[in-house]
Structure 1
Amino acid sequence: MALPGQASAPFWKHRHPGHSTPNSTLIGRALRDKIATHYLAGLFTTPEDLARQIAAAVHQRQIRDRLSANSVGLNAIWSNTLIPDQEFIDESSINSLKEALASVANPSALQIDLQDGRYWWSTRLFFLACVADELAATRLLLFVGNRKGAPQSFVGAVTPATLRDRLARSNESLRRFDDLCRNSPIDSHNFEEALRKRGVDWRSIMDKDTEQKSRVFVSIRELRRWLGADFIERSIELRSADETPTAGFLKAVLDWPHPYAPITSEGVLTKVVERIALADQLARLFVEDSGSF
């Protein structure tokens, strides 16, 4: 809805002397806020002005819809499959991991909760990076944790391949497992058998004593030390799903260096946007709008 422009104050500011009580003022403000939030496109002075404002409102809604349509669901279930509840990655651990993967609709971007930095072992994170890289076609790992008392705060992002490479360089046993994986490829189409085989390979190198000597807790500090500039700690802020994305926000998404961009609200990870698909749809929207003039 749009309202005709006028030189005097907007209609809600005209109050009859007999209706200037505090209650009526509050009701008037509530009505004004509801109209401005849900129905008002703007003030117009000509039919052409009205048409432009309605087109802009529709355009903004289309952008919000496309942003939602290209969001990938966050999958944090991996956090509960390889944490060291057990002292060894045995068949039970592999079965839990298999079930976790099977329940993920889109494993392209996976969330890992570091909690307080004394939760994940580096050895288990390395095994996850190898499996995600080889079998799940995961493109990005997104880390969250407790920051200043706020759980699920975004910590940073890295590709599984990069994490795998850096951790393999940091430890001889991890490097041996990485070499074994690269020299004995598996058929990713036979997921269950491939995952079972990687579990066997892991246990052939990483026994209980070896893992105890190799592992360190995964914290933000350790991730920075391992990954350096490859650990991207920035995110793209959008305060709420109802907020209209600005040009600056869209540019930040399109400029993101990986195919999936993390979106946060006050630092808390809320969604991941598939950058290339969003860019394609925005381009189509622009072409359609250009052709309508």
Structure 2
Amino acid sequence: MFQLSYDHIDKSVVFTKISLKKELEVIFSNLGASVFEISFSDNRNNMENILMAPPKDIWLNNRTFAGSIVGPLAGRYEVGQTTLEKNRPPIHFHGGSDGWDKVVWDQSITENDDSVTVSFSHSTIDYEALVIYIIDRNYNLTMEILVNPKVTTYLNPTNHMYFNLNGSAFVPVTNHLFKLDSASIFHEENGLIKSADPLNVSEHFDFQILSKLASLPTFHGINHTYQLYKDYSGVLRHPTNGRQITFKTSLPSVVIYTFNVAQENYSHNNKLYPVYSGITFETQYPANNLELVKFGQTHPYHSRTNYSFSIIDEKK
């Protein structure tokens, strides 16, 4: 049922491809404990990559966060009296200059009849971290992150996958449908969340019912932290090729970002991917609240996010 293959870049970095019934293929890398590529069939049996990322050579040499685990502390933080690095002065940003996306993690793989588990581990003097990805026969990709701190540690990791169900990053996600179980977003000033109390979501950013993303250009895209409710879930669907992703998470919020600015590293054959060519579901705690993400020996970190892949009849 599952087929595995490996691409060794050098003595330390490896890409691992896991294929399921020629309908779902996921490529992982131990660099950044990453999901580098997801190829998924559509309603005409076309297998195409639905993640937007730089080409492999650029991805390896220019860390862009794409598909990687961002941590230990994802987001933007005022550091106060802490020893957190101000790697984007005057704030701490996405784990610092030696964040988890730049680490070559130790990898192990476990196979059985129903699933394949890819585990990445990384240890420092302050903590032991484990990222577990599970692909099962029902086309689910589950991500668990567990961290056992040895000392008090600030932890708010996330994954930074950009999804595009078109199968081409040159076609924006403005033709997608999107639903998110959230009625509130966190207010930001200069990119920093300034209050632990979220605000009611405005009409432009309300996706409590399945809605078209066609209007993204009218309000310059989404780059917001949403407080989740119900099952903490969301849906992304392509209206004609039938591809759909449903995500659920144990975490209380998610950053939705729609690639609102073209970037030099995101290109193919020297042609830049356009704005709105990807959308993230960065499940996490709301950023810039250090007390909320303080963990220790008696309070370890654990989160779980599930991505379910399906094909919907285009008539529905």
TM-score range, shorter chain: under 0.3
* TM-score normalised by length of structure 2: 0.21
Higher helix proportion: 1
Q: Which of the two has greater strand per residue?
A: 2
